């Protein structure tokens, strides 16, 4: 197997995403967890760019790595106080998390090995903006208006919750 530059970049991105994902869920400082999450989202955008999905990579950087991470950091800084410390993980919580992780990995592996994945109808590369817009904002099969609206309601609830917590002080 020949290691090309593209494969090398993919390996670097994948390893860094795995490392920062583990760091994000194991750190006790919530601001560091948000920073590690930012690095994972930037790595995801890098993989999109490597697949020649420049529109999707740009959206990943602007919306997720930019906007949502800023919202997370804003809400963390707004709601946490200096006296709050991360609680120590109990052994039972660690065992439950390990069991849930192993169960999720087994389920994913089962479905990956069981299914015969057919080649995609779409070829990697650039698509027409009208086609992307219809896929994102359409209400038919394989279109994403409902998840888009659910995400906007979730973000609105986060903003309202942050405002209510700030008003209490």
What pLDDT, in 10s, does the model give residues 103-160? 999 998 998 888 877 665 556 666 777 877 777 777 777 777 777 788 888 888 888 8
Query: DSSP 3-state assignment of 158?
Result: helix
**CATH tag for 1-81 (out of 3.40.228.10, 3.40.50.300, 1.20.120.1200, 2.40.10.10):** 1.20.120.1200
Tokens of 58: 């740009």
Mean pLDDT of the 44-72 span: 84
Largest distance between two CA atoms of the chain: 61
The helix (H) or strand (E) run that includes residue 30 is helix 30-50
State the pLDDT at residue 9: 92
| pTM (two decimals) | 0.56
Taking the C-alpha atoms of residue 57 and residue 47, their distance in angstroms, rounded to an integer, is 8
Measured CA to CA in angstroms, residue 78 lies from 32, 74, 104, 161, 162 at distances of 15, 6, 33, 11, 7
Which is nearest to 44 in space by CA: 62, 27, 61, 31?
Answer: 61
Taking the C-alpha atoms of residue 55 and residue 10, their distance in angstroms, rounded to an integer, is 19
């Amino acid at each position: 197997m020949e290691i090309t530059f593209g494969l090398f970049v993919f390996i670097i991105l994948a390893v860094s995403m795995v490392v920062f994902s583990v760091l994000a869920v194991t750190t006790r400082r919530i601001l560091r967890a948000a920073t590690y999450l930012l690095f994972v989202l930037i790595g995801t955008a890098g993989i999109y760019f490597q697949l020649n999905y420049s529109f999707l990579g740009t959206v990943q950087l602007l919306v997720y790595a930019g906007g949502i991470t800023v919202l997370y950091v804003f809400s963390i800084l707004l709601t946490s106080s200096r006296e709050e410390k991360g609680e120590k993980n109990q052994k039972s919580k660690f065992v439950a998390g390990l069991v849930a992780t192993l169960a999720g990995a087994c389920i994913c592996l089962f479905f990956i090995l069981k299914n015969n994945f057919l080649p995609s109808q779409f070829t990697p590369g650039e698509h027409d903006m009208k086609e992307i817009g219809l896929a994102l904002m359409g209400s038919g099969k394989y279109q994403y208006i409902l998840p888009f609206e659910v995400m906007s309601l979730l973000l609105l609830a986060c903003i309202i919750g942050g405002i209510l917590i700030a008003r209490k002080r």
